[in-house]
Amino acid sequence: MAPAEPNARPFRPKGEIPHFAEERQGWKGYVEWEEYPEKKKQAQEILKKHDFPEPPEFQLVPLPNTNPILTGERWKQYHDACGLDYMYKDSWETVLKEKSEDMIHVLQFPYNGEAPSGRLIKTELTNNKDHFVRNHGGIPDIDPDKWTLDIGGLVKTPQKLTLAQLQDGSIFPRQSNIATLQCSGTRRIEQIHEYPGDGDELINAPWGEGAIATARWTGVSLKKVIKYCGGLVGNADNIEFYGADTYFKKGSVHNYTVSVPWRKVKAHEVLLAWEMNGEPLPKIHGSPVRVVVYGYIGARSVKWLYKIKAIHHPSAAPVQRKEYLYYTPQIGKQNAQYSNGFSIQDMPVSSAIITPQNMGQIIHDGKIRLSGWAYSGGGHWPVRVEVSGDGGSIWYEVPAENMSTKYFYAWRTWWIDLPVDAEGWLEMCVRCWDNAMNTQPTFVRSAWNWDLHVTSSAHRVKIYSINKSRPATAARLKQLEDNNAPIAPITRPIHFDLETDEEYLKAMESRAWRDPLE
């Protein structure tokens, strides 16, 4: 293979660049693959001819100190080879238009981005511009007036619905819920730092604590739509969703496709949403209509939805069958199979410290304010958050009044003024308990898995404690201030003598000097 980014060579076509036409007028960026096996085969043959860049190494070496952190050159060149380069170019333009200027671009294409952590928990609901994005391909631009949804498979009466029909309250009563979406890669960087794992063809992005966000989603319950189709027939146990984005997997091309069990739909926990925080869905979040599956891994909440099928077994599409698998710790490159990992659906209880940040140097007067988020999926919710200032021996409960509103399907933000007497390097950590008494593994090692999903262990940050309630520390801070010298970063040496000769002699006298008397 060719060199990986950042040393990837520019794309070099092998033969004539093909033209795969967009499927429908007003649906820019949507190429239908699943209905045309011959077109998929043509793309597969084209991909075989090219020498694409290696996936980048970002686990065994430090991450680039850039933004975007990773650019996805390999993925871009897949699109180049198939004449789809406009998809990644349009995608980046949409990112710059619809997301906050200071987003952390974890991966430029397909776009993966999270908000700066300090702003993530300022409000219960995440601003649309700050909501994380985990895409698997380009960003289709679909005219809402041209959008339709096909519902078929094992339903009594297949239907094709327009957006106007879906939004007609006389046909489908609206449903609106506050719900958290979370990528299974949230906090993956902790696993990468300690125990690297699968890099993955798409790139297992090095997410921090921001691959989670909360919004009010408005739309219609999928159960109501299935009822409008006369209900299910035969042995329909799963519902399959098709997204208009293009997805590559091991030399083949697909539309993004996954499924959820019918039992999830029956509970009115699958929404076809067209509003996000009271506004029409942004393009980058799936406009005109997306799926929102409450409590499940974000990968099941398909964006740019265009087709739904009732099926018997879970989807055979690669994202469902070959991705988002959770393996035991002894499974790895040497023995992983698609069948020996289980499919991630419900998100487990998890939490994170957002402030202070790792390696922070904190001046305080005996208390340090910690803040963060806590979440539990699968129909559970956070009831208690505990923090520790000594790595997990002594825990302090976050007061109930310091936790945000309790919702069935959403996170809770929290804060606490943690008593801290000790100085020097300390390890702070947080754990959450949900309403079913589930809590988090204590250490990252307990949560490690080959695909680096679901870092659900107690979140840990190391901070340097500077307790100004101690006289000696207060005196040193005054010295630094008088000399116009900051204490942070602590690695910067002090440019003046630490004590006078008189002070030194007096102190040594009180200590009986260095050596023993006899």
pLDDT in tens, 264-312: 999 999 999 999 999 999 999 999 999 999 999 999 999 999 999 999 9
Strands 133-134 and 112-114: antiparallel
Task: Sheet containing 424-434: give its strands across.
Answer: 360-364, 459-467, 424-434, 382-388, 395-397
pLDDT score for 518: 86
pTM: 0.96
Asked if residue 240 lies in contact with residue 259, where contact means CB atoms within 8 angstroms, the answer is: yes
The residue among 441, 406, 426 whose CA lies nearest residue 356 is: 426
514: confidence class by pLDDT, cuts 50, 70, 90: very high
User: 407: exposed, middle or buried (C-beta count within 10 Å: 0-12, 13-18, 19+)?
Assistant: middle
Q: How many CB atoms lie within 10 A of CB 129?
A: 13
Please, what's the b/e burial string for 235-255 (b: 16 or more CB within 10 A of its CB; e: otherwise)? ebbbbbbbbbbbbbbeeebbb
Mean pLDDT computed over 127-156: 98
Given CA atoms 167, 172, 176, 182 in this order, what sign does their dihedral have?
A: negative
Q: What angle do CA 333, 338, 344 make, to 5 degrees?
A: 105
The CA distance from 20 to 35, in Å, is 14
> How many CA atoms, within 13 angstroms, populate the side-chain half-sphere of residue 202?
23
pLDDT at 1: 67
CA quadruple 166, 172, 177, 180: dihedral sign: negative
Return the ∠ at Cα 45 (arms to 42 and 46), rounded to 5°: 90
At residue 17, the pLDDT reads: 95
- CA pseudo-torsion sign 455, 457, 458, 464: negative
What's the pLDDT score for residue 257? Answer: 98
Give the mean pLDDT of 373-396: 97
Looking at per-residue pLDDT, the higher value among 417 and 3 belongs to 417
SS3 for 422-475 is CCEEEEEEEEEEECCCCCCCCCHHHHCCCCCCCCCCCEEEEEEEEECCCHHHHH
- For residue 419, is pLDDT > 70? yes
Q: What is the largest CA-CA distance in the chain?
A: 99
> What is the pLDDT at residue 203?
83
Mean pLDDT of 66-77: 96
Q: Which residues pair with 459 in a beta bridge?
A: 430
d(CA 496, CA 427) in angstroms, rounded, equals 30
Residues 275, 135, 341, 248, CA torsion sign:
positive
Residues 6+ apart with CB under 8 A from 288: 142, 144, 147, 163, 274, 280, 281
Q: Give the chain's mean pLDDT.
A: 96
The pLDDT score that the predictor gives to residue 199 is 85
Does residue 3 surpass a pLDDT of 90?
Answer: no
Instruction: For Cα atoms 412, 377, 123, give the angle at the middle one, nearest 5 degrees.
Output: 25
Q: What is the pLDDT of residue 204?
A: 87
Indicate if the pLDDT at residue 341 is higher than 70.
yes
How confident is the model at residue 201, as a pLDDT? 81
Confidence of residue 363 (pLDDT cuts 50, 70, 90): very high
Return d(Cα 282, Cα 112) in angstroms, integer.
Answer: 15
